[in-house]
Amino acid sequence: MTIEIRTVAPARLREWIDAIESASGDRVTDEAWPYVERCTEIDRVLGAYDGDRLVGGGAAFSYQLTVPGGHVAAAGVTAVGVMPTHRRRGTLRQLMAAQLADVRTRGEAVAMLWASEGSIYGRFGYGLATLNGRIEIERERATFASPATPRGSFRLIDRDEALELYPQVYDPICAATPGFFGRNRTWWENDVLPDLQSYRRGAGNKFYVVQERDGHAVAYVLYRVISEWGDVGSLSVLQVQELMALDADALRDTWQFVFGVDLIHRIRARVGPVDHPLLLMVSDPRRLALRVVDGLWLRIVDVEAALAARTYNGSGSIVLEVADGFMPELAGRWRLHVESGSATVTLTEDGPDLALDVADLGAIYLGAFSFAQLARAGRTRELTPGARAAADALFTTPTRPWCPQVF
């Protein structure tokens, strides 16, 4: 059986997504399809064809990814799947090769994705680049160590007003937090804010709340409620889908608002930074039941451009030898020379100080992991004594990376 990877014509886009969704036993509903279609970049949609029949494929979004001290053009890989009838035949490998070649042609330095299974994408050069925390707490246990009167006021708003106010909070946080990606108006309108019945999965409608201070939006929260009642009262669960705040006071106040919603038994938040500030705000952090899961997986496709796009700590120079088993033509040896945080990156024939796989570089790139941590896991090789510590001194970043949204 010969599988061919090629682009998908606009007229066959719905057929394509149905083939993708069959891989996970799901289906995009007629209600959701117009929103999916408006977000889809048709020229980035790849199909796996058995003859003329679509049997799988993948796509990507064009993002600006926040990295330490800057931004880099990134491909947000999404909707990857192969029909059950065509698995275990090398189709995914063909698809990944075609997609990464396209990413490089477009001049994007990195590709990133959320993995359906963590074991799948490491063999294609993706490294675990961010972690995400999930919290769950009983409402009666959700108390603060130092309660305070909110500095601002809260309003329930509709989707149209959220479209205008939420970016005022999100954009500054995005600009400062590695792992975030910029959201344009189309993304807000068709992915973040819609309240589709098919996306509720047993929960109720979406609530849009904004906190304002001196007439300006300083925080917001999106949430749903799974309503359930027992013999002695509410068993309902409030699901925080996204909560953003511009400063510590706004963050505390908005969580205090969430914890104060009546007739709720339990609060869940699906994603957040691992070093969640709530751990230091609540009176009993154990009750948050913090769970750490994998977040973004990142694949470097242009080492020089990726390393030059971010800033570093202090000054120094180090030679990295990067192996790439999936795209061996991208392997090489680079000198990273840093002056007062800014880097120049050049190919070199000088002896390497550190040797690592491209997946290891993806794990280090945003600052989620250090060279020392990778070494403890038996990854990377130190070829010059002290090089690992020197590299960690350069790569360290004060802000832990995380990504607020699965795409």
Please name the residue ranges forming H helices in 111-158. Answer: 118-121
Closest to 402 measured CA to CA, from 366, 363, 364, 354 = 366
Distance CA 334, CA 107 (A): 19
Kindly tell me if the per-residue pLDDT of 18 is higher than 80: yes
Look at residue 401 and tell me if it is in a domain: no
Across 85-94, 175-184, 368-377, least confident range: 85-94
Please name the residue ranges forming H helices in 26-109. Answer: 33-39, 91-105
Strand order in the sheet with 381-382: 342-347, 332-339, 316-323, 354-357, 381-382
Amino acid at 337: H
**pLDDT tens per residue, range 107-146:** 999 999 999 988 899 999 999 999 999 999 999 999 999 9
Q: What is the pLDDT of residue 88?
A: 85
Distance CA 225, CA 214 (A): 30
Residues 252 and 318 occupy one common structural domain: no
Mean pLDDT of 345-355: 97
Strands 237-245 and 266-269: parallel
User: Which tokens in the block code for residue 6?
Assistant: 């090629």
**Residue 82 CA neighbour count, 13 Å, CB half:** 19
Look at residue 86 and tell me if it is in a domain: yes
Yes or no: say if 13 and 99 are a contact pair by the CB < 8 Å rule. no
Distance CA 193, CA 166 (A): 10
**Residues in Cβ contact with 57 at an 8 Å cutoff, skipping those fewer than 6 apart:** 5, 8, 16, 19, 20, 45, 46, 47, 48, 79, 80, 81, 95
Distance CA 270, CA 256 (A): 17
Count of structural domains, the chain:
3
Annotate 285-333 with DSSP letters as a single string.
Answer: GGGG--EEEE-EEEEES-HHHHHHHS--SS-EEEEEEEE-SSSGGG-EE
Annotate 172-210 with DSSP letters as a single string.
Answer: HHHHHSTT-B---HHHIIIIIS---GGGTTT----EEEE
Residues 284 and 246 occupy one common structural domain: yes
Residue with tokens 């090089």: 387
Final residue belonging to a domain, choices 74, 108, 142: 108
Q: How confident is residue 271, by pLDDT bands cut at 50, 70 and 90?
A: confident
Yes or no: say if 383 and 400 are a contact pair by the CB < 8 Å rule. no
Q: How confident is residue 147, by pLDDT bands cut at 50, 70 and 90?
A: confident
Mean pLDDT of 42-68: 97
Look at residue 189 and tell me if it is in a domain: yes
Look at residue 74 and tell me if it is in a domain: yes
The CATH number assigned to the domain holding 316 equals 3.30.1050.10
Let me know how long the chain is. 407
Q: CA 59, 192, 242, 165 torsion: positive or negative? A: positive
**Mean pLDDT over each residue of the chain, to the nearest integer:** 96
Domain boundaries, position 152: 133-289
Look at residue 334 and tell me if it is in a domain: yes
Residues 83 and 34 occupy one common structural domain: yes
**pLDDT tens per residue, range 295-348:** 999 999 999 999 999 999 999 999 999 999 999 999 999 999 999 999 999 999
Residues 98 and 146 occupy one common structural domain: no
Residues marked active site are found at 121, 407
User: How many CB atoms within 10 Å of residue 89?
Assistant: 16
Look at residue 182 and tell me if it is in a domain: yes
Residues 87 and 175 occupy one common structural domain: no
Look at residue 122 and tell me if it is in a domain: no
Mean pLDDT of 42-58: 96
Residues 282 and 338 occupy one common structural domain: no
pTM over 0.85: yes
Closest to 300 measured CA to CA, from 126, 147, 172 = 126
Final residue belonging to a domain, choices 261, 289, 317: 289
Look at residue 295 and tell me if it is in a domain: no
Residues 162 and 283 occupy one common structural domain: yes
Residue with tokens 């330095």: 109
Distance CA 360, CA 357 (A): 5
User: Which tokens in the block code for residue 291?
Assistant: 């769970």
**Residue 244 CA neighbour count, 13 Å, CB half:** 24
Residues 147 and 86 occupy one common structural domain: no
Q: What is the pLDDT of residue 340?
A: 96
Residues 28 and 158 occupy one common structural domain: no
Residues 157 and 256 occupy one common structural domain: yes
Q: How confident is residue 20, by pLDDT bands cut at 50, 70 and 90?
A: very high
Residues 316 and 281 occupy one common structural domain: no
Q: Longest C-alpha distance within the chain, in Å?
A: 73
Instruction: Give the distance, in angstroms, between the CA of residue 317 and the centroid of all CA atoms in the same chain.
Output: 30
The CATH number assigned to the domain holding 75 equals 3.40.630.30
Residues 170 and 238 occupy one common structural domain: yes
**Residues in Cβ contact with 356 at an 8 Å cutoff, skipping those fewer than 6 apart:** 320, 321, 322, 323, 364, 374, 379, 380, 381
